[in-house]
Amino acid sequence: MRIAVVTGAGSGIGRSAAVRIAERGVGVVVTYRAHRQRAEDVVAEIGEAGGTAVALPLDLGDTSGFPAFRDALAVALAGVWGRDTFDVLVNNAGSGEMSMIGETTEESFDRLTRVLWKGPYFLVQALLPLLADGGAVVNVTSNANRANVTGPGWSVYASLKGAVTVLTRYAAKELSGRGIRVNSVAPGATRTRFADDVLGRHPEIEPDLARTFALGRIGEPDDVGLVIAALASEEGRWITAQDIEVSGGQYL
């Protein structure tokens, strides 16, 4: 059985990716930072559908914990699936904070950098010994790094997502000798808990935001999760080094 690790899989895009990957007969390791019950709910959902999943804690903003996570992952792989490697890493976990350049503090800058850039970079490094040849990495970026998208207040977030886009290309080149494909998906605005559940807290912004999409609505987690699952599967076997915008034509 193939195995996937999906970070931040307790809700939103991560949850959708975990469930959709599991539907394809893949075992899933669901990671969480603070909300264990959400992760356990995803594990239960996958189990009820006939799949196999486990939940493991991971703080993407604390690289010092990555060796311990790698060890826990190795134990789970052996104990649940009889494997010593896994096949897919989905770098989804992240956070977002809005601040204008003139008001951004070094503390918030560093916090976002740890989670959005340093974390994914060194997580790939930490897990390379366990990632099977012929595997796949899917990074979740954002259409905020596109040239036609400039939302005031998102300079740090967009810049860091742009860094992950560049990392995707370089990692695809470096890991190609092992047959490992590396791609990223760039969602537009999606109905998740992003930025402290901004859409849930401010439903009044939804009509105007929906008008920025060529397809006429805000994205749903499954719109992105299905693409991640496809890229991680045999269907994506000839795709690498790509950053695929999955945004329903936002700002087209």
**121 catalytically annotated:** no
Six-digit token pair at 200? 């849930």
How far apart, in whole angstroms, are the C-alpha atoms of residue 9 and residue 50?
18
Asked if 61 and 114 count as a contact pair (C-beta separation under 8 A), the reply is yes
Q: Whose CA is closest to 136, among 41, 12, 5? A: 5
User: What is the crossing angle of helices 12-22 and 36-48, to 10°?
Assistant: 30
Strands 27-32 and 243-246: unpaired
Task: Classify residue 200 by its DSSP letter.
Answer: H
Strand partners, 186: 245
In whole angstroms, give the CA distance from residue 93 to residue 31: 9
113-133: b or e for each residue (b if 16 or more CB lie within 10 Å)?
bbbbbbbbbebbebbbebbbe
Catalytic-role residue among 32, 157, 170, 251: 157
SS3 185: strand
Sign of the dihedral defined by the CA atoms of residues 169, 153, 249, 30, in that order: positive
Residue 22 Cα distances to 2, 44, 251, angstroms: 10, 12, 32
Q: What positions carry a catalytic annotation?
A: 157
